[in-house]
Chain A
Amino acid sequence: MEVGQLQRSFVEYMASLFREGFLDGQFSQLQQLQDDSNPEFVVEVVSLFFEDSERLLNDLTMALDQPNVDFKQVDAHVHQLKGSSSSVGAQRVKNCCVLFRNCCEEQNTEACLRCLQQIKQEYLLVKNKLQTLFELEQQIVAAGGAIPMVQ
């Protein structure tokens, strides 16, 4: 594929991610932080985010599976996840976390499970989207193009 075309679709894809609320300004922040001295910054952070999230989601699943749910524990996990997701700009995951914490406050196991389900879904969605985005980036780089800056 032609570099220009790749770049265009990259921009479009980015825009769609923002438009659909998968990502927010924080992701742009990350992109801005990435420079020659640290060319893999975004990918690194996002990978870390994936790792972290998966661990947290596992923990959450287990915590909520207990007969007596330790909501404090759950809340702490969700807090972590919220911090992580907001740091990478995974907006929809973060929003879910906000709801999740409300449910925790109410000590509503059922609602928590629903939220967890939702977060998992959102997480997988954003993960896929980001991976697609990174693939596009790599293709651009492989084609010798520069990654366009999206404002």
Chain B
Amino acid sequence: MVCEMESDQTEDMEMEVEVLSSMWPEDMNENGKQFNIDWPGEDQDMLEEVNINEDSTIVDFKRLVELTNYSEKGSSQLAYLVKNWEYKQENAVRLLREELDNLSKQQQESELKKLEILEKYQFEEERYGGDKRPISILDEDLKRYIFQEAPRKRNDVKIQDKLEIDAEYDSIKYWKQRATHLEKLLETSGQREQILTEKLQESIENLERQSSPVEELSQVLKRADNFLHFVLQNAPVVIGHQDNELRYRFIYNHFPSLREEDIIGKTDVEIFTGAGVKESQDFKREVLERGIPAKREITFDTGLFGSKTFLIYVEPVFSKAGETLGVNYMGMEITDQVRKREKMAKLREEIAVQKAKETELNKTIHITEETMRAKQMLATMSHEIRSPLSGVVSMTEILSTTKLDKEQRQLVNVMLSSGDLVLQLINDILDLSKVESGVMKLEATKFRPREVVKHVLQTAAASLQKILTLEGHIAEDVPIEVVGDVLRIRQILTNLISNAIKFTHEGKVGIKLYVVSGPCPDVKQGSHKRMASDHSKVLAKICKEDKCTSPSNNALDRKGSGGCKDADGANERLLQKGEGNYSEQNGASIEDEVDDPNQQETTVWIRCDVYDTGIGIPENAIPTLFKKYMQVGADTARKYGGTGLGLAICKQLAELMGGHMTVSSKEHHGSTFTFILPYKVSPVCDSSDDNEELTEMDNHDTSSEGNDDDINSGFFQFQPRTLGSLFSSHSSGRAPKLSPNGFGYNTLNKTNGFQVNSHSFPLDSNTSKETGSVEDACSVADAVETCSDPESTFKHTRNSGNPSTSGREQKINGVLDHTPCLSSPNSETTNSDQGEITEKIEKSQIQEQPDKSSECSSSKDAQISKTSLKPKILLVEDNKILVMVTRSMMKQLGHDIDIVNNGVEALRAVQRYRYDLILMDVCMPVMDGLQTTRLIRSYEESGNWDAAKDAGIDVEVSPSNTSQRSDESSTKRIPIIAMTANAISESAEECYANGMDSFVSKPVTLQKLKESLQQYLP
């Protein structure tokens, strides 16, 4: 096969190829197998067998020669070889020439010398000449050659010469002989020269013959080839040449899997199939077209050799004329490397990911730490700031329950409101930082949105200082009960409402509640405006209705409360009611809703608009409105105060609950703050009223009828000039009819019942009524309202947790708590029997504090058994100072007292004497007041001290004493008044539970003591 391609010119190459074939090691097969294992099979084996024996370099020699001849590269390579050879030859020639030159120069010199000698010293010359030795610059060989031969010759000649000389004639003869001899020498030299020249010629010839250019070239090529084969022996490299049709013309593949004829003359695509083949072909074509060498990594997945990656270098081959003849291509298998590289990349990626995670983790840890610290700080803050402050506020509250004159009360009220303000502010700041640090937790409780709105409005109305209408609309589709964080929602509402009130000087402020389909805050404005106007019409109607009732209200107010704080008749607020405007339609639809409870827990989005007709917000201030510490302007802050925290909190709270808050406003016309929140609707829509979970908002005394009404009402209104806390539920038209009755009761309340109250419950906040404050007037007004409309009564409890109103709440509650008794027996009370009503009030009080009943009777008993003797009073108190103070006070009240220091002593004292009253400290060493009281009560009931003995008290029962005591009624109950340091109700309850009749909070004041004594002593 090779021969076929041979040509005359490539004789050498053929030889070379033949030589090369011998270079393949016999064991190459094994290696080859190693690399070709991918295809075990008969075909493969056969191929390999064939391949071993044949030359693995598959050559299209014709083509190669053509290439060498025509391609630029080929010719340049040849030219290089020729040049190299020429240079070498030139070098040799140059050396020889130099030699020649030298020799000829010597010859000339010697000739010259000879001439000289001949001319001048004919004889001597010869002698000198004989000493001369030719200096050769030739190689050692040459020298040796010359020395070996030349001396011998010379010697021969010399001997002859000498013989001649000796034989000849003496002196002249000698010289003659000498001359001849020299001549001979010259001759010899000439001969030698000739020999040298011949030799030179010969060597030149030899040289020329030996290093003919072809031979040299073939040698060089052979060497190069050998070198290449040596280097490439085991390299996973494929070298090839493809013509401009990308048909293989030459391929060198160390581990061929195809025979030459399968490759030569074919393109990649024709040879292989599979992934990457087309790509490589396209790549080669691209190189061919662009004429710029390029490298590319191509992954093949062919049926022939499996999945392998090759790094392919392709360079175009140009003809001398510059046209592209084809491409040289060299491929190296780098599958392993690629795999490694990929693995590396993967590893690096993983490391990077790991690192990123680590950083993330660190960050998280950092954040967590920060949060923890923030939490801790919050906890500290809230404790450090709040507790002393609440101390101040609660002390002030307590102070406000004590007996104060008008001026003092005013001062205390200022203190209270200021304290509340600071507390509120701190709460705001804490709330905000809580929300921001993510500490804020939301609670999910059931609540009734209608009640929340109502209570918020009520609360606002109660402290309203302006002539504003407060109203609330709740759409029919708003569920009766939803689940959410009622406290936070309330907070938002309260905040927005108080904001609205703050910036509204006339008109109205209101809340609208309705269900929307999603959290999108758009639309419906128009319809709601219409709704609002509807309501204002309704409002007008209500006003008309109320006109008839208001004069009597006025009169009542003045009578009952001794005038308002303002002492300004014009400012006196009217009680107004608007019953009966609650449309039948509304009622019906709510019925529907109740009948159709949601069976599953679904989320409902409720939109809440808080609107006002206030000063509005300039457009440019709206974007910053919800930012912390931002107010509309410095002017606003100065004029209206505030910190600018409220709205930020509202917004953040709304967002925390999964909703959002927006605002729309028109300057000088009002603003509407809207928040939309998702609520869960509990599956069981419990429309029944007495849900214990709701007691937060429900007054426990609320009658069921009233409650129902509360649930269903969709519109509340607090008219201007009502004294704040009145609201109208438009559900009944009977109110005007009934109201005269209500006033009747109220009068009675004022004149009788409440005074009774003030005596029997010295600590009851009702006593403050006497001061005639606005709040009292308010509470009276409430009472009137609730009395007059028994069936639809809303309890005005403001358990909103707002300390600013809690004091007043108590008062209002205090009044309201009695109303069920007053208002329920409608027909009876119309008789206006004062005595009866007074009794009723008393009863209601008794119901409230059951232990009182017996006390009342006992005090009556005491009254009956009143003697001329001074009552005997025992003080049980361990604190010397308190003892001293109390004794002094009692003294001033005209009583002498016995004093003991602990419960045990008290028991002994009780055994000895009969006391009319015991003042008992609760916290005492040895035996506390509670136990002591229990034991005394036990004795009173059983007539013996067994219980005390059981308790391990050493009771010394002297017969005389016993007899003395037994004279009296053993069942006689001694009034015991607790003296407790904790003025808080829980302690009071404890006192009652242990059988005490009343309590006085410490520090004991003269007034308190007096009141207590008056209650129990004649």
Contact = CB atoms under 8 A, between A and B. Distances in A.
Interface on chain A toward B: helix, strand, loop, or mixed SS?
helix
Nearest to A81: B879
Contacts of B1002: 83, 86-87
Contact of B925 (A33, A45, A76, A98): A76
Nearest to B921: A83
A38 B888 CA distance: 9
A29 B391 contact: no
Given A38-B888, A82-B981, A87-B1004, A102 B387 contact: yes
Contact of A89 (B882, B888, B923, B1003): B1003
Interface string B855-899: 000000000000000000000001111101100110110000000
Contacts of B391: 95, 98-99
A89 B881 CA distance: 11
Contact of B879 (A29, A41, A80): A80
A60 to B, nearest CB: 15
Contact-residue bracket for chain A: 20 to 34
A45 B884 CA distance: 7
Contact of A25 (B388, B892, B1005): B1005
Given A48-B880, A83-B879, A29 B885 contact: yes
Nearest to A51: B880
Contact of A88 (B878, B881, B889): B881
Interface string A29-40: 110110100100
Contact of A79 (B885, B981, B1006): B981
* Interface class of chain B by DSSP: helix
A8 B892 CA distance: 28
A30 B881 CA distance: 11
Interface in A13-44: 25-26, 29-30, 32-33, 35, 38, 41, 44
Contact of B881 (A48, A95, A99, A102): A48
Interface in A56-89: 76, 79-80, 82-84, 86-89
B387 A83 contact: no
A86 B882 CA distance: 9
Nearest to A79: B923
Contacts of B884: 44-45, 48
B395 interface: yes
A76 B880 CA distance: 15
A99 B888 CA distance: 29
A87 B402 contact: no
A35 B894 CA distance: 13
A52 interface: yes
A89 B395 CA distance: 13
Contacts of B395: 95
A86 B395 CA distance: 12
Interface string B683-719: 0000000000000000000000000000000000000
Interface string B638-663: 00000000000000000000000000
B204 to A, nearest CB: 117
Contacts, number: 74
B902 to A, nearest CB: 13
A103 to B, nearest CB: 10
Contacts of A88: 881, 885
Contact of B885 (A33, A35, A80): A33
B885 A30 contact: yes
Interface in B373-408: 387-388, 391, 395, 399, 402
Contacts of A89: 1003
B879 A99 contact: no
Contacts of B388: 95, 99
A9 B281 CA distance: 114
Given A29-B1006, A86-B981, A87-B1002, A99 B882 contact: no
Contacts of A29: 885, 889, 1003, 1005-1006
A44 B888 CA distance: 11
A26 B880 CA distance: 16
A84 B387 contact: no
Contacts of A83: 879, 881-882, 923, 981, 1002
Given A26-B1003, A99-B388, A33 B892 contact: yes
A82 B1001 CA distance: 13
Contacts of A52: 879-881
Contact of A45 (B878, B881, B981): B881
A32 B881 contact: no
B260 to A, nearest CB: 97
Nearest to A94: B1003
Contacts of B923: 76, 79, 83
A76 B928 CA distance: 12
A28 B878 CA distance: 23
A29 B890 CA distance: 12
- Of the listed residues B399, B881, B889, B1005, the one surrounded by the most CB atoms of chain A closer than 10 A to its CB is B881
Given A48-B881, A76-B925, A79-B981, A99 B387 contact: yes
Interface of A: 25-26, 29-30, 32-33, 35, 38, 41, 44-45, 48-49, 52, 76, 79-80, 82-84, 86-89, 95, 98-99, 102
17 contacts: A26-B1003, A29-B885, A29-B889, A30-B885, A30-B888, A41-B888, A44-B884, A45-B884, A48-B881, A79-B923, A79-B981, A83-B981, A83-B1002, A84-B881, A87-B881, A88-B885, A102-B387
Interface of B: 387-388, 391, 395, 399, 402, 878-882, 884-885, 888-889, 891-892, 923, 925, 981, 1002-1006
Nearest 7 pairs of A and B residues by beta carbon: A86-B1003, A33-B888, A26-B1003, A83-B879, A84-B881, A87-B881, A87-B882
Given A33-B892, A38-B891, A76-B923, 4 more contacts: A48-B880, A83-B881, A83-B923, A84-B879
